[in-house]
């Protein structure tokens, strides 16, 4: 069974990279609140959770320092250009694809 996403083929994709200063349980609950339409309005997160309900997996790693967190986060964002992230610091996106990253 696959999510209904037009003519997309089966794939794995990194939708979002982020960090938190809260526990992972608290952060995960915030995402679930977004899915239920509660919490602060993060339209891209809400739409991702709604469209891919039952097909998303959360992965995490603990990093030792704030500098390491910043370095790894930036590298992941610039390598994979996740759809839900709104700030893509160095990556150049073709003009015809910029609509994918607009809110």
- Asked if residue 32 has pLDDT above 90, the reply is no
Structurally, how many domains does the chain consist of? 1
**Length of the chain in residues, anyone?**
103
Query: Comparing 90 with 60, which gets the higher pLDDT?
Result: 60
pLDDT by residue (tens digit) across 43-76? 777 788 778 888 888 788 888 899 999 999 888 8
For residue 89, tell me if it sits in a domain.
Answer: yes
83 CB contacts (<8 Å, ≥6 apart)? Answer: 13, 15, 16, 44, 48, 100, 101
Average pLDDT rounded to a whole number, residues 78-100: 75
Q: What is the pTM of this model?
A: 0.64
- Average pLDDT of the chain is 77
The whole-number pLDDT of residue 80 equals 83
For residue 73, tell me if it sits in a domain.
Answer: yes
Domain of residue 57, residue span: 24-101
């Amino acid at each position: 069974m696959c999510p209904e996403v037009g003519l997309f083929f089966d794939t794995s994709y990194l939708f979002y990279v982020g960090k938190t200063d809260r526990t992972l349980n608290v952060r995960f609950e915030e995402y679930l609140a977004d899915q239920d339409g509660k919490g602060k309005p993060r339209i891209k997160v809400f739409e991702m959770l709604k469209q891919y309900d039952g097909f998303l997996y959360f992965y995490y790693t603990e990093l030792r320092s704030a500098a390491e967190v910043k370095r790894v986060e930036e590298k992941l964002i610039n390598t994979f250009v996740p759809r839900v992230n709104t700030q893509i610091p160095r990556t150049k996106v073709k003009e015809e694809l910029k609509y994918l990253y607009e809110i």
